Structure 1
Amino acid sequence: MTDSNTRAALQRGISNRRNVLGDAWVERSIGNANTLNVEFQRMITCYAWDGIWSRPGLEPRTRRIMVLAITAAMGRWEEFELHIRTGLQAPADDPAAAALDLDTIKEVLLQTAVYAGVPAGNTGMAIVLKVLSSLDRTPPKADFWAGGTGE
């Protein structure tokens, strides 16, 4: 049984999770609750998705960008992939959904490669390309020798 404060935090957290990760992901998480993981699910919903994602200091998109950089730096690729996929699928006109575009993802990975190491950037790029392919959004070919930096 949860008290009214905890229930309110759960409701706010679920709302944020739905906005950022989508209804299907949240329904699957809630639907897979069992006696082993239900307290963990409640904890991350209240602590992360309400306590952090509800804070006014940063916009949801900035928070998602930070999640990408941190999870890439730490090698938490399942969480990185989740936020790439849901960020690419989020409606661009809904700020609460924290949508991502390819230019932003590219910049996050370039910065991550400098501060967390080229292998992190490289793995992140491979995951992004895999997700894009699964969404039938493969980027067009580019001429390696045309344009770019260092010319």
Structure 2
Amino acid sequence: MSQVDNETRLAEGLRMRKAVLGEEHVERSMAKVSEFGRPVQELVTEYCWGAVWTRDGLERRTRSLLNLAMLTALNRMHEFGVHVRGAVRNGCSRQEIQEALLQTAVYCGVPAALESFRVAERVLGELAAEGVEVP
């Protein structure tokens, strides 16, 4: 791809990342990035958010639920918590998040699912305290 295509995908990825995770979160994260870490942040923004999340094949809600399951399987709880917020922003209900995590108990293991339930419950509580209504 040409440099213009890469720049376009990076810009589209940044827009999607902000739409899913919230502009404040993304701006705060990007402001903290060191020169050493900048290339990986740009890679994530361009490819994860610009090349994959912008595709038409799945709705953002579905992508969010998939991310919750995969992050549970990988035990990446920081990213999991970020994506619980994204799932809510993408219209996932408390019950849908709960059902996705129950599914992970069977396929990823109970300890992984238990940790994800703990983190999800904490994040959902934080959202409620912030005045975000989660159906």
Whether these two folds match at TM > 0.5 is: yes
Q: Secondary structure at the match of 2:58?
A: coil
Superposition misfits of 4+ residues, deviation over 6 angstroms: none
Name the TM-score, length of structure 2 as normaliser: 0.87
Matching residue's letter, 2:116: G
Q: Displacement of 1:13 after TM fit?
A: 0.2
Q: Distance in 2 between matches of 1:135 and 1:113?
A: 24
Q: Distance in 2 between matches of 1:134 and 1:101?
A: 15
Deviations 1:117-151 (A, max 9, x none): 111111111111212222336xxxxxxxxxxxxxx
Q: Secondary structure at the match of 1:45?
A: helix
> Residues 101 and 116 of structure 2 are in contact (CA less than 8 Å); yes or no, is this contact kept in structure 1?
yes
Q: Secondary structure at the match of 2:101?
A: helix
Structure 1 spans left out of the alignment, 5+ residues: 91-97, 138-151
Name the TM-score, length of structure 1 as normaliser: 0.78
Structure 2 spans left out of the alignment, 5+ residues: 130-135
Instruction: Find the counterpart in structure 1 of residue 112 from structure 2.
Output: 120
Q: 1:135 aligns with which of 122, 127, 134?
A: 127
State how 1:1-151 maps to structure 2 within 5 Å.
3-88=3-88, 90=89, 98-136=90-128
Q: Distance in 2 between matches of 1:136 and 1:48?
A: 28
Q: Distance in 2 between matches of 1:33 and 1:125?
A: 29
Identity across the alignment (%): 36
Question: Higher helix proportion, which one?
Answer: 2
Instruction: Find the counterpart in structure 1 of residue 132 from structure 2.
Output: none
